[in-house]
Amino acid sequence: MPQPYSTLHVTVADGIAGIVLDNPPVNVISATMMAELRSVLGEFRDDRSVRVIVFSSANPEFFLAHVDMHILDEEDLLHELTAATPHGVNVFQAVGELLRSQPQPIIVKLAGKARGGGAEFVAAADMVFAATETAGIGQIESLMGIVPAGGGTQYLLERVGRNRALEIVLTGDLYDATTAAAYGWINRAVPAAELDTFVDRVARDIAGLADGVALRVKEIFSPGVPVEGYEREEKAWSALIAGPAALPLMSRALEHGAQTPEGEADLEHLMRSVRAGQREIVAERPSSMV
């Protein structure tokens, strides 16, 4: 099929649509990627020849790093996306709703890291299989001075329960695939050398079911839209992003290597270091300036 996308590579064969996420250098979620995801999933929505959709990454180290910290540079497109979002969800929550409401079952093949909005994307998918040795997933937003605002809090409640959701969001830690599977965050951890074969087998088995079965099964298990939870998420995020900590933290993180392969390799350490440096600067100010 034609490739009108700059951040996605799309193939369709034997009832399986493969969507490879590709936004170098670290696969951040840009407004362009969100628009292209909306477009391609819209194309597949009524295409009954597509029975299952598999997402993977062109970058073996990063599935989706997080939302682009430069996303406001795409202000016009972001406004267009916001205007087109369904009532009761914000532009980031709308990405998760795209996946959750898509008629076809959606599988994520997680070989690398998924943080922030990337972790929300993973949790919004129907099934997730991750490489034991190399995959990682984390809601890093608290280390950025904000909270998840793309549905992550609601998906975590569904998948892991309140106590573990609190742990995940408040620590901002990166979780390995084995722990994520034990928590119920993902379906299972699979040895990295076997991940491609395993996901291919699952996708082929789903695509090979009798006509209509996969679509009906997803319809049975389709979750409701957590409107009240989305509203709480948006309200908390809006208050924090407008506060004194978040934007300076992100700006300093970019200065110290966020959104580069080196900085994203251990983003949690980078963010904690930036936060510690920010606290030291505040502590050194004369009291009249605090």
Mean pLDDT, to the nearest integer, of 110-123? 98
Instruction: Output DSSP code: residue 224.
Output: P
Selection from 180, 146, 168 nearest residue 250 by Cα? 146
pLDDT per residue as tens digits for the range 207-219: 999 999 999 999 9
SS3 content of the chain, % helix, strand, coil (to 5): 50, 15, 30
What total of structural domains would you count in the chain?
Answer: 1
Q: How confident is the model at residue 21 (pLDDT cuts 50, 70, 90)?
A: very high
Give the CATH number for residue 191: 3.90.226.10
Q: Evaluate if residue 290 carries a pLDDT over 90.
A: no
pLDDT at 1: 53
**Distance (Å, whole) CA 192 – CA 174:** 18
pLDDT category at 277 given cuts 50, 70, 90 is: confident
Q: Tell me the pLDDT tens digit for each residue of 25-58.
A: 999 999 999 999 999 999 999 999 999 999 999 9
Angstrom distances, CA of residue 79 to CA of 23, 32, 90, 149, 209: 21, 12, 11, 17, 41
What is the rounded average pLDDT of the residues 247-269?
97
Which structural domain, as residue segments, surrounds residue 33? Answer: 1-290
Amino acid 3: pLDDT:
64
pLDDT at 231: 97
Whole-number pLDDT of residue 131 = 99
Per-residue pLDDT of 165-208, as tens digits, reads: 999 999 999 999 999 999 999 999 999 999 999 999 999 999 99
The confidence score (pLDDT) of residue 28 equals 98
**Does 2 score more than 80 pLDDT?**
no
- Is the pLDDT at 120 greater than 70, yes or no? yes
Tens of pLDDT, residues 60-72: 999 999 999 999 8
